Amino acid sequence: MLERLHQVFAIEELRKRILYTLAMLLVFRIGSYIPVPGVDTKQLAEVLSGAFGAGIFQFIDLFTGGALQRFSLFGLGVIPYINASIILSLLIPVFPKLKELQQQGREGRRKLTQYTRWGTVALAFLQAYAMSYLVIRYGLARPTVGFFLTSIIALTAGTIFLMWVGERITENGIGNGISVLIMAGIIARFPGQLQRTYLEISAGTVSPIWAVGLVVLFVVVIAGTVIIQQGQRKIPIQYAKRTAGRRVYGGHTAHLPIRVNQGGVIPIIFASAILTLPSSVAAWVPGLSWLQSYVAPGSLIYLLAYVVLIFFFTYFYSSLVFDPHDLAKNLREAGGFVPGVRPGDSTARYLTDITGRLLLVGATFLAGIAVLPFIFRAVSGITAFSLGGTSLLILVGVGIDTIMQIEAHLVMRQYESLVKGTAFLGRKRG
């Protein structure tokens, strides 16, 4: 382990990327402790918990790393960015122009990224307005125009800055910037929740046996997540022989890997983000407080909607990133075929059937992991620990992706050193 860490930090470029990422995360954590001026932060957590409901408040605050209960500059976190990404993803299949941009390669993706940024600004402004109104409504700040404008500008600018930080981590750091920020926010809440759980058990309100159950749940979720995240179905591909002049091309066998969980943590993040909307509307709109008991995390309606949305986004995201018909067409043009399956439409149907079965396994696992902590919490009585299956899935998923990014840099660096240290086309590389 120590030798591997030495190899990672021995590479200058990789060392700079890791240190850059850590520096950006430090900025994120510092900003989460800088409150918006004029707010009584001592009573804020209690008021927001009562307004949103304890469960949904803990969930939102978990994604912001505790910044929401302090009403800090980063109080909205990256939730507006996630919501903007969801909305744009849903609009792509509906509007042909957006679909064309998605298929135009790098330039099209740059344009879609620009739309996501503007959508993030608009949603951040609306959510900042709602949060500022909520704080004034409950008497936690003076109802002045100065505070209202300051709060809206500070919260909106904080989200925009976090979006920029995430993009910089993706470009100059170790990648997956937004996901890394979410993971950092979750980890920041981990020690405090463990301490409160220990106090609950020490006070005798919770049986010590459930502490063992909590550890077992952690191990099961982490092991299952690693298995599903890394699991894939390898489809054999045979390439026909082609003769061009005196050379023979093809004739070899390859494998087409199809992942069990193609969307990673995206379906569960999208589903969680959407489910925060009903409770937010119930908290902001007078006369809808009765709705909170039905949409609160852990309620039957919430869990059913959670499962349905996870299944929907699992299949929806797969349809965006994996097209069996295009793949079958490309295989046919390259002279490749699946043994025992005719090229063309038959191959597309074969790939669709396999993908559908794999997605069913992946979606079922994601739904089970998401619902299991609510069931465990209801049975055990542990209320202080809200770091459930969703959070663990994000932690493990992002952790695996980060490790793979580091491994990719290591492999690339070793390949470069191999080329530089040997003869190349009969000449030494300088």
CATH of the domain at 140: 1.10.3370.10
In total, how many domains does the chain have? 2
Q: Is residue 6 part of a domain?
A: yes
Per-residue pLDDT at 162: 92
Instruction: Examine the domain organization and report whether 158 and 92 are in the same domain.
Output: yes
> Within this chain, do residues 162 and 300 fall inside the same structural domain, yes or no?
no
What is residue 414's predicted lDDT score, i.e. its pLDDT? Answer: 63
Q: Residue 428 domain-assigned?
A: no
| CA distances (Å), origin 196, targets 191, 193, 255, 393 | 9, 5, 49, 22
The domain in which residue 282 lies consists of 202-403
Closest CA to 65 of 296, 371, 309, 395: 395
Residues 253, 108, single domain; the answer is: no
Q: Are residues 334 and 269 in the same domain?
A: yes
Q: Are 419 and 194 within 8 A, CB to CB?
A: no
* Residues 6+ away with beta carbon under 8 Å from 124: 76, 80, 155, 156, 159, 160
Same domain membership, residue 386 and residue 328: yes
Dihedral sign, Cα of residue 19, residue 27, residue 55, residue 79: negative
Cβ atoms within 10 Å, residue 124: 26
Residue 37 to residue 76: CA distance in whole angstroms: 16
Whole-structure pTM value: 0.74
Contact 369, 224 (CB under 8 A): yes
Say yes or no: 321 and 390 in one domain: yes
Q: How far is CA 111 from CA 80, 107, 114, 159, 293, in A?
A: 19, 6, 5, 20, 41
Q: How confident is the model at residue 424, as a pLDDT?
A: 39
Query: Which phi and psi (to 5°) does residue 249 adopt?
Result: -110, 155
Kindly state whether residues 21 and 158 are assigned to the same domain: yes
**Which DSSP state fits 422?**
S
Residues of the chain falling short of pLDDT 70: 1-2, 4, 48-60, 62, 241-251, 279-280, 282-289, 292, 383-390, 413-430
d(CA 161, CA 147): 21
Do 351 and 222 share a structural domain?
Answer: yes
**Which residues, other chains included, contact 416 with Cβ-Cβ below 8 Å and sequence gap of 6+?**
none
**212 and 169, same domain (yes or no):** no
Examine residue 184 and state whether it is found in any structural domain, yes or no: no
